Amino acid sequence: MTDGILSRLTQAVLEGDNEAAVRLTQDALAGGIEPLTLIDQGLVPGMDQAGEKFSSGEYFLPHLLIAARAMQESMEIIEPELLSRDEQVASEGTVVIGTVHGDIHEIGKSLVATMFTANGFKVHDLGVDVPIERFVACVRDSDADILGLSALLTTTMVVQRDIIEALSEAGLREDVKVLVGGAPVHAAWAEEIGADGYAPDAVAAVRVARHVLGRIPNSG
């Protein structure tokens, strides 16, 4: 039953069928399927398959857009469920997060932001295509502990490095831990550009943040 509903959800995202995605999400939650299982095993595989079809020339940009919209509508239902599981009172710290300049991919960044919120962090989500100066100003003004930089394109990964350099120029580099992520990003890149951490997914992002803040011994 679980497998069936998850694979139908994957198919609904792949086909950009909003109504089916929303209905299946509601049914799955009512049936007791965990929100993270729904995301990892239902929604994300649909987006990945849409990306593969785009790479092979079977899908075009509008297909990606409608797939993304179906995923986002499901996420709107899942997010309150994720947040309602947050029973923490004390704040774990402040996170500034956004997708870098030139890049409008939103879904992964928003998922990471939601996971931080669900885990007791105060989050300033700056959105997508965020100018470098905006990140720097928000880090300064919010006294952030973590700056999260998402990039989905090989052409925008380099902006992560530009932002780290801008933080140094503004005298803020020692005040904030920089976490990078996004599909083309990897640990060696994070090290090369002087980031403090890299996370492959939204759950790992919270774990790595706690690690770089010295809250847990290692990122696992």
Binding site for ligand B1M (CB under 6 A): 44, 47-48, 50-51, 54-55, 61, 64-65, 68, 97, 102-109, 111-112, 148-150, 152-154, 179-184, 199, 201-202, 205
Task: Please check whether residue 206 is in contact with residue 120, taking contact to mean a CB–CB distance below 8 angstroms.
Answer: no
At 33, the amino acid letter reads I
CA distance 208 to 196: 9
At 206, the amino acid letter reads V
Nearer to ligand B1M, 55 or 89 (CB): 55
CB within 8 A of 58, min separation 6: which ones?
Answer: none
Nearer to ligand B1M, 33 or 42 (CB): 42
Least separation in angstroms between CB 149 and ligand B1M: 6
Least separation in angstroms between CB 210 and ligand B1M: 13
- Residues 142-151 as b/e (b if ≥16 CB within 10 A, e otherwise) read bebbbbbbbb
Least separation in angstroms between CB 53 and ligand B1M: 8
Least separation in angstroms between CB 214 and ligand B1M: 18
Nearer to ligand B1M, 1 or 132 (CB): 132
Burial level of 12, CB count in 10 A (0-12/13-18/19+)?
A: buried
Least separation in angstroms between CB 1 and ligand B1M: 24
Tokens of 28: 């799955």
Least separation in angstroms between CB 169 and ligand B1M: 21
Nearer to ligand B1M, 81 or 89 (CB): 81
Nearer to ligand B1M, 5 or 121 (CB): 121
Nearer to ligand B1M, 91 or 154 (CB): 154
- Residues 153-192 as b/e (b if ≥16 CB within 10 A, e otherwise) read beebbebbbebbebbeeeebbeebbbbbbbbebeeebbee
